[in-house]
Amino acid sequence: MTTDVLTQHPLLSVCDLSVAVETTEGTRSLLDRVSIDIARGEVLGLVGESGSGKSLLCRTLVGLMPSRTIHRTGGSILFDGQELADTDEKTLQAVRGARIGLIFQNPASHLDPVMRIGDQILEGIVYHQHLSREVAKSLALDIMGQVGFTDPPRQFGSYAHEFSGGMRQRAMIAIALACNPDILIADEPTTALDVTIQAQILHLLLDLRDKRGLSIILVTHDLGVVAQTCDRIAVMRNGRIVETGEKRQILKTPQADYTKMLISSHPSMLIEAAKTTVDVARHADIRPLIEIDDLSVCFPASSGLLSKRKHFSAVDGISLQIWQGDTVGIVGESGSGKSTLARAMLGLTPASSGHVSFAGASLRLHRTKALRALRTQAAMVFQDPYNSLNPRMTIGETLSEVLKVQKRIPPAQIPERINELLDLVELDRSFAQRKPRTMSGGQCQRAGIARALAIDPRVIVADECIAALDVTIQAQIVALFRKLVATMDLTLVFIAHDLPVVRSLCQRVVVMHRGRIVEEGLSEDVFARPSGAYTAGLIEAIPDIDPDKPLSRHSKI
């Protein structure tokens, strides 16, 4: 993309767009005089934290307000010379989908689970282009091939649950492209995907831009993504555009303090890797806290006339040692066995063969003793900060429940211990009276960490605990873990697909692929000199905040 595109007449011009919500306390502004332009064939990155107004802006452009209490209070939306702000719903329906396509963050919640993928793609073609089903199916198959489906005729009849996250996202893109739109709005299309799948989706969007002349609004909180894919960047905060400009200008010489903070929070800017203070040699005469020996975990395979496999190996012959005070990152793509290994490590998923020992007690040979030790000395922090907390209980009640079950402190001292736990995770003590629905994702995740700390654990297993959080909140949670490890002699097993975070937090890294460990070592060694092609591919696929570094094509299909 050249800078010439910036001088062209904008395809979409938003001027002083304002949106408000009606509440019992009165009218509250959500978008405040937002102005952006996008030219034909341009990729505009829209960045900012959750709640900044990115998604609301995109929905307002096509008249899809998330609530009847939310309405536009002013401004203009000029699309290809046509004013959309004051138009009727019938006109918006003709534009929505046909000329402005949308891709949402979570394909699982936006794809119809009881409708075949192919039918969902051709539905828009039939509606907007008034074609017969036969012609529409031919076009749908062609689009499926364009977005990377390997066998469109067969996959046309499949359902969403039969595909991986990456393939479901491709289906969403195919639906959005079905009517050959002029603009594609992609709202966090890669947030929940592994780095390799993310690279494939980003390459796909850029290839479609080149082939079709698409304009793309890419909504994301990852500055690494916009650095390597976008032509210009618009930074949003609290419903306002705080800075906009060419990507190199924004990333190298940001003017707004908020933009500077976003850039400094990006994991790739954490140049100092985790301190490799743990010398493996010094463990030679010490028993590991967790010892895994030739562990395998199998699940029943799907049955069918053509299926020959009776079992599927999620974890296949893994051996691993973790010492007290270690920080170990476990990385790999979805389906590599990371979470299954973590659950087997804590006795939550039974092993099919092999051994897991905790503090010298084997889960297979001394199960009662090992489980007793795990339940009083090991804790887990989960991926979804909202669903991992009881919505009916206050944070204080949640922490109190754990303390009562542990029976380590007298009941009269529980309120004070709750305050201490909130202090540890840097939450105000007033949060003891709040329920999860009144808290942000980062605050809920801090409460989840406080719950894990309530048992005074020797080890915490954090399973993708920052995947759903903004980059600034991720940085805060990582800093919190770093502080807890340093001050409490905690052992941390950190499972993630965000490799820069693992590099900055963990002393050691374990790389998994198809249920096996393919590489293991000190983080600085593995990231600087990966010995395996799979590890090198994962590292190469990480979007870098340097705008002059090209997006990896290692993982492109």
- Cα angle: 149, vertex 153, 159; to 5 degrees: 70
CA-CA-CA-CA torsion sign (128, 131, 136, 139)? negative
C-alpha separations of 380 from 116, 216, 347 in Å: 37, 39, 12
DSSP of 306-322: T---SEEEEEEEEEEEE
In a domain, residue 393? The reply is yes
In a domain, 53, yes or no: no
Q: Is residue 474 domain-resident?
A: yes
Q: For residue 292, which of 351, 240, 333 has the smallest C-alpha distance?
A: 351
Tokens 């290839």 label which residue?
207
Q: What is the pLDDT of residues 187-202, one digit of tens each?
A: 888 766 677 777 877 8
- The per-residue pLDDT for range 77-125, each reduced to its tens digit, is 999 888 998 888 888 888 888 889 888 776 777 888 999 999 999 988 8
- Residue 52 belongs to a domain: no
For helices 165-177 and 133-146, what crossing angle results, to 10°? Answer: 130
Which backbone phi and psi does 71 adopt, to 5 degrees? -150, 155
**E strand map for 39-160:** 43-47, 70-79, 82-83, 100-103
Within a domain: 334? yes
Q: Quick one: pLDDT at residue 204?
A: 81
- Sign of the Cα pseudo-torsion (471, 472, 475, 481, in order): negative
pLDDT exceeding 90 applies to what percent of the chain? Answer: 38
Task: Give the dihedral sign, CA 509/515/517/518.
Answer: negative
Q: Does residue 442 lie within any of the structural domains?
A: yes
Edge-to-edge, what's the strand order for the sheet holding 43-47?
Answer: 100-103, 183-187, 215-220, 43-47, 232-237, 240-246
When divided into structural domains, the chain yields a total of 1
385 in Cβ contact with 445 (< 8 Å): yes
Nearest to 402 by CA among 337, 435, 447, 371: 447
The predicted structure's pLDDT at residue 495: 92
- Asked whether residue 395 is assigned to any structural domain, the reply reads yes
Residue 346: CB atoms within 10 A of its CB come to 22
Domain that holds residue 470: 280-286+325-343+381-540
Q: The domain that contains 490 carries what CATH number?
A: 3.40.50.300
Please name the residue that has the structure tokens 């005070």.
325
**pLDDT lower than 70: segments of the chain:** 1-8, 106, 164-166, 191-193, 267-285, 301-310, 468, 550, 552-557
Residue 8 resides in a domain = no
Q: State the CB neighbour count (10 A cutoff) for residue 36.
A: 20
